[in-house]
Structure formats: C-alpha cells, structure tokens
Amino acid sequence: MQCSICKEKPATVHLTQIVGDKMQKLDLCEDCAKTKGVNDPAGFALGADLMFGLGAAQEIEQAGGGVELKCSRCGFTQADFKKSGRLGCPECYKTFSEGLGGLLKTMHKGTRHTGKAPETMRSSTEDADRLKILQKKLEKAIESENFEEAAQLRDEIKQVTERSLAPKNLAR
C-alpha cells in the first residue's frame, strides 16, 4: 500500500478517525506521518486539511467520470484540487459542485448554509422564496419518512422565519 500523501513510499502508519458518526481512513509512510505530526504522543486530531483534503480530491475525480473538469472562470482543474485541497475561485464551487456534495457531507454538519448572510442577500422576497422551497422539501422529507432531514429543515425554517422578522443582529 502506498502512502496517501507522497504516493511514493510504502504506508506503514494506518489511521482511522471517527468524527461524529463518520469514519475516515488514512495510510501514511513514516516520513509523512512525522511531518504531519501524526506520531505526536499528545494524540492531536488530524488536521482537517489532512483528512479532508485527500478524500476531497478522490470524490471529485469520481464525479468527473474520468473527464477532467476545469473551471471556466479561472482555469482551475480537479488535478489542481487534488494537489492543494483548495479551490481556485468562488465559481469553482459551481464547476465542481457534483463531486463536492458528498465531500461536504463528510466534513460538515450539513450541506446547506444556515448562518449569517450579507444583508443584500437576505431581502424579504428572497426569504419568502426560500421558505416556500424549504416547506416543500420538508413535506417531501416527511412523506419519505426521512426524519433526520425533516428535523434539519424545520430548524432552518425556524431560522429563516426569525431572521426575516429581525433583519438585524441575526444569528446572535
């Protein structure tokens, strides 16, 4: 087995980290394990970069179905993402959206933003539209007995309602 970071030396350090109910695995050679501080006796959590960066590239690659995606705005490719674990520009989130979905699920609590928004983005009509969409999603989720999602949606609806009532100091 090859090291998942340098892809050169054989992997001798095998790690499994469980965050919440998600499991992540990583195989490293001795040198990379050292540089990433994995051997640290203090038992530090693996940096988010380390865990997420690697899985991310793989997912995007699979989503591309073998064809290399490239951002039309900035020219960033999935190979670049694999190298750096970072995206090229805000537009890249659209370009690579398919592969990112699964990845976001593993690294975050949810896949929809529920926090602060710039004031210009939270006009009342937009909130109203959003509420309509959320309501529909909620009905669907309940219908298909997907209660976890339903609960999340209910929270989100509550938040949108609250923030449209109090446009200032949201999310405090």
Neighbours of 8 (CB within 10 A): 10
For residue 24, give every residue at least 6 positions away whose Cβ sits within 8 Å of its Cβ, in sequence order, or none.
Answer: 16, 17, 18, 46, 51, 55, 106
Question: In whole angstroms, what is the distance from residue 64 CA to residue 18 CA?
Answer: 27
Q: Does 66 bind another protein (CB under 8 A)?
A: no
Distance separating alpha carbons of residues 51 and 5, to the nearest angstrom: 10
Kindly tell me which residue out of 1, 16, 20, 124 binds another protein, with binding defined by CB under 8 A: 20
**Can residue 114 be called a binding residue for another protein (CB under 8 A)?**
yes
Candidate residues 3, 33, 70, 88; the one interacting with another protein per rule CB under 8 A: 88
Q: How far is the CB of 161 from another protein (least distance, A)?
A: 13
Among 25, 112, 132, 136, binds another protein (CB under 8 A): 112
Half-sphere exposure of 76 (CA within 13 A, CB side): 20
List contacts with another protein (CB under 8 A).
17-20, 36-37, 40, 42-45, 47-49, 52-53, 56, 74, 76, 80, 84-90, 93, 100, 103-104, 107-121, 126, 130, 152, 159, 169, 171-172
